Amino acid sequence: RSCRVLLEPIHMKKITFILHGNHRKKDQLKAAVEKASKNEFEISFVETQAVGDGMTVSKRAVEEGAEYLIACGGDGTVNEVVNGWIQSASEARENVILGVLPGGTGNDFSKSIRAKGGIEQLLQYIRSDDWFEMDLGWMRFQDQEGNTSERYFDNIADVGIGGQVVMNTAKAGKWMGADLIYFTSILKSFFQYQHASISLSAPGFEWQGKILSLVFANARYFGSGLCIAPEADLSDGQMEIIKIAKVSVLDYLMYMGKVKRGEKIVHPEVCYHRFTECKVESLGDPVPIDMDGEFVGYTPLEIKMHQKVVKLLGRP
């Protein structure tokens, strides 16, 4: 009598890597991923071609059955992948896990999830099912054409000088390196930007005055390693708000070391708050908004935190 053994097909986890089209080492990255994966996974690569592409291709990847969606690039790429994921159908995205493989200019979000081990660390997280649930911040604002727009941030958004810094950073030569690009862009912005008059309101809180920057932090770092929000928690359902009012370029230079070390700034014009939601109105001209390293539009702005809405590879 012959025996027939029926073997069930082995399920290979489906991983889609979203690469910034200008990633300088994308070919080497693809080869390294293929080598490190050892044919354990079903892997595909998608490259972005223009601003906003990351949202479109990420949404499509989720709806085509990706189980892991990996953002390969900087903070802007991570933001687009997150927003593409959240735009996809809820039944398609509910079991999709996101990940980050740093490869941009600042890579600030990756610092908050300790994503320093590269491809091997990322694949080990996938093998061991090592992820956590992360908050996202929802924003409603005026886009660059003056239309009402909605979008989510995963790292940090800010109102004020940040938008000017982003525009200066985009014009800077990449040969300088991330730290020098951001340092010179921030210094230049101090001489270009005028303190803006705004109102900030949250449940049980009202404030009006002039600001250099109003920072809304889900994670801790921005500006290429500046730990502006040392107590920010990626899963507590709150944002840490840092109100930076009449601060000068000399103040910035004096306190930069403390910020890099993750120490709170003790200064009469700097205040820390924690809220789940808030609104910002300009009391003059509309104020620019920076979201995860990208200039997205202007005030008025409304923000609400959504707790533990996305699964992310790594450890906060």
Taking the CA atoms of 207, 213, 218 and 220 in sequence, report the sign of the dihedral they define: negative
Tokens of 46: 């998608």
CATH number for the domain whose boundaries are 14-129: 3.40.50.10330
Q: Mean pLDDT of all residues in the chain?
A: 90
- pLDDT at position 175: 52
Tokens of 222: 């921005």
Domain ranges of the chain: 14-129, 136-308
Architecture of domain 136-308: Sandwich (2.60)
Strands (E), 29-147: 42-47, 68-73, 97-102, 131-143
Of 156, 83, 109, 110, whose CA–CA distance to 309 is shortest? 83
Q: What tens digit of pLDDT does each residue of 118-138 get?
A: 899 999 999 999 999 999 999
Whether the per-residue pLDDT at 66 is higher than 60: the answer is yes
Work out the average pLDDT over 73-87. 94
- pLDDT at position 182: 73
Work out the average pLDDT over 224-247. 94
Work out the average pLDDT over 87-91. 94
Distance, CA of 268 to CA of 277 (rounded, Å): 24
**Contact (CB, 8 A) for 34 and 63:** no
Residue 128 CA neighbour count, 13 Å, CB half? 12
- pLDDT at position 237: 97
- pLDDT at position 8: 54
The residue with greater pLDDT, 191 or 253, is 253
* pTM, 2 dp: 0.90
- pLDDT at position 180: 78
Q: What tens digit of pLDDT does each residue of 153-211 get?
A: 999 999 998 877 777 776 666 656 667 777 788 878 877 788 899 999 999 999 999 99
- pLDDT at position 239: 98
Whether the per-residue pLDDT at 81 is higher than 70: the answer is yes
Q: What tens digit of pLDDT does each residue of 6-44 get?
A: 555 567 899 999 998 777 778 888 999 999 988 899 999
- pLDDT at position 70: 97
